[in-house]
Homo-oligomer: A and B are copies of this chain.
Amino acid sequence: MIKTRITEMLGIDHPVVQGGMQWVGRAELAAAVSNAGGLGILTALTQPTPEALGKEIARCRDMTDKPFAVNLTILPTIKPVPYEEYAQAIVDSDVKTVETAGRNPEPFLPLFKSAGIKVIHKCTSIRHSLKAERIGCDAVSVDGFECAGHPGEDDVTNLILLPLAAQRLKIPFIASGGLGDGRGLAAALALGADGINMGTRFMVTEEAPIHEKVKRAMVDASELDTALIYRSLNNTARVFKNSIAEQVLQIESQPGATKFEDIQPLVQGAKGKELFEEGDLDRGIWSAGMVVGLINDIPSCAELVQRIVADAEEIINERLAKVVQA
């Protein structure tokens, strides 16, 4: 067993948190991760309405007795999203932990805190992590350059961000980005983190509700098979380097400012929803972290979590204990 401030705060067996992933964070995966002793996460906006989120939370609760969380990602959208109603649905469903992301969660904190909910905020920089601590978040998830989705524009890796967080933060923090095995868990703990967040690695499990072809493509991928797109729009995203991602990069490399209208036709099939359900790998784009290069199989969540924890324990108890000599 590996026990940290995060396992204690969240009431979970292992310091392993599932990443909040649009279209992927459904009851099947969240319940499987929680049943494995980690923290499963439903993504609020995967559900079309706050009511649907309430039902998904109830469905997840039918599938596990263990704690799970809900991710609320606040991003600028073309169509307005009723974030307050989603937040209220979370509170009404008696969820104990929320992961916020995308923007300063301050407006939502009074609601969550008054309901006794623990708030973990996802940050891609030290300045945002310190701010999250200052406004009263209970923990932060520190997202390095390696991560899937939006790493920010600073390009600072977790080898640097995590020790900085350890130097400066008082609240517990979770390492996110680049982590997928026992070596990574042991290293994150050594760097000062209280646990790890894994998105990409949990996409490639039996229970992840995405098409087998997508999982297989990620098993076959190497560490060179992710791409940073939307950099020219100042909204960088790390995605799987399929043919669509390569076309986007091509458009972005043209002289002059990139027009989103030029990219939109390519990625509009990019609602992971259809891609993930139908398994057409070149239908759109999907987020994938650099850790795809370390993924070689499609285990169950239980197998995966047990293996990672056992490997980290062995590294700590055997390998590291052995190199340190009196």
Contact = CB atoms under 8 A, between A and B. Distances in A.
A88 B157 CA distance: 39
A281 interface: no
Range for the number of chain A residues in contact with chain B: 35 or more
Interface stretch (A61-69, A210-218, A261-269, A290-298): A290-298
Interface stretch (A32-40, A76-84, A186-194): A186-194
B3 A325 contact: yes
B189 A319 contact: yes
A255 B252 CA distance: 12
Contacts of A290: 156-157, 159-160
Contacts of A2: 323-325
Interface string A298-326: 00000000000000010111011101111
A106 to B, nearest CB: 24
B146 A160 contact: yes
Contacts of A92: none
Contacts of A316: 190, 316, 320-321, 323-324
A224 B126 CA distance: 10
Contact of A256 (B164, B178, B255): B255
From A156, A166, A293, residue with most partner B Cβ within 10 Å: A156
A286 to B, nearest CB: 19
Nearest to A222: B126
A158 B162 CA distance: 13
Contact of A164 (B192, B255, B294): B294
Q: Is the interface of A mostly helix, strand, loop or mixed?
A: helix
A41 interface: no
B190 A315 contact: yes
A156 B223 contact: yes
A229 to B, nearest CB: 14
A178 to B, nearest CB: 4
A75 interface: no
A123 interface: no
Contacts of A167: 294
B156 A184 contact: no
Interface string A215-251: 0000000011000000000000000000000000000
Contacts of A187: 159, 187-188, 190-191
Nearest to A296: B167
A139 interface: no
B159 A323 contact: no
B163 A294 contact: yes
B157 A144 contact: yes
